[in-house]
Structure 1
Amino acid sequence: MRWEDLFADLELQWEANEAAELSAELADRSRREAAYLRLIDRMRPVVGHPTRCRVVGGQRAPEILHGTLAALGMDWLLITEPGATEVLVPVRSLLAVENLPVVSAQPGHEGPLAAKLDLRYVLRGLVRDRSACTLMLVDGVTLHGTPVRVGSDFLEVAEHAVGEFARRGQIRSGWTIPLDAIAYVRRIH
């Protein structure tokens, strides 16, 4: 009986060592895989669900945007606020996103079309629709106007009063804004 106890004890030790090695390997693999995740991979499972984001507020305190994450691109996200107001946020303006789920999307699985739909593409849609917008700049300045042209690294905006259209007599001035200076764009309905 003593030999049987010894063999049983050795077998249990061997199984415990194997389990510990497997656990360590899985933990290491998980850390390595997490290193490939991007913020948009973490956010993709939240599309269509409520979210809260802290964004650059310039000289004022950071602003908190909340609503439904309506869409997500490579370098932007679209939040539909209560009342159906849409806010376009460049990813670089994000300071934090609250309560993302543990689950992430696979890195690089957004498809080739999504990779082409960058911030400039979405801004061109605002130009095409002649959408009146409020632009928050990273220095905290707010501009009201209609985007009129998008370049490779800038946006041109015809500034006018809220509720007015970008017509010759209504335009106060024209602004050329580097894309990096935009904290977010709120579409006015």
Structure 2
Amino acid sequence: MQFSLWLALLGATVVISFTPGAGAINTMSNSLNAGFGRSIWGILGQQAALVIHVAIVALGLGLLVSNSPVLFAAIKYAGAAYLIYLGLRQFLAKPTGNAEVEAARRDEPAFSMFRRGMWVNLLNPKAIVFFLAFMPGFIRLDQPQLTQYLVLIATVLAVDILVMWFFFAAAARSFQRFTRTVRGLTMMNRAFGVLFIAVGLMLAFL
């Protein structure tokens, strides 16, 4: 991949990563609930989903999804339902003020965070359509395909991890003062619950 083309890819990826969405909300929620350091597990799950999306498009399966209204709708509504489920669960969560309960909440298994992050990004058919439109501009058919895809994936993952962890997860730390009381934690749970539900509804209807 030519350096000028890679710079264009880098710029586009930075803009995309800074665009708020379900992944950013999930990252901020993890940072508040499990801590800044452990929020990386959710971020890595989101990256795994991006790799799968790129593979789907590269193998030509993305066209199948985008050209099948039934399949596209099924994935879309499943993704919307999952986000709404996460939102309702967080909205209805009731902090107890019990130190042992809250400590257990912060010790959520890494795989659980990874899995949730993966599903948040994976159940979004619009990501497949986006990569269908995004990737052809950076892949040259007259050059080795594998190397170009590896460069693209490495760039997308590196930028997204940095933005998610050092911007969105770090930004959530400024709200941690609200998590020191039951009332503050309840407010934060409801705020992030509403955000998850809103993104789910947008995925379903926009």
Pair in the same fold by TM > 0.5 = no
**RCO comparison, higher one (Cα < 8 Å, 6+):** 2
In the superposition, the TM-score normalised over structure 2's length comes to: 0.21
User: Whose Rg is larger?
Assistant: 1
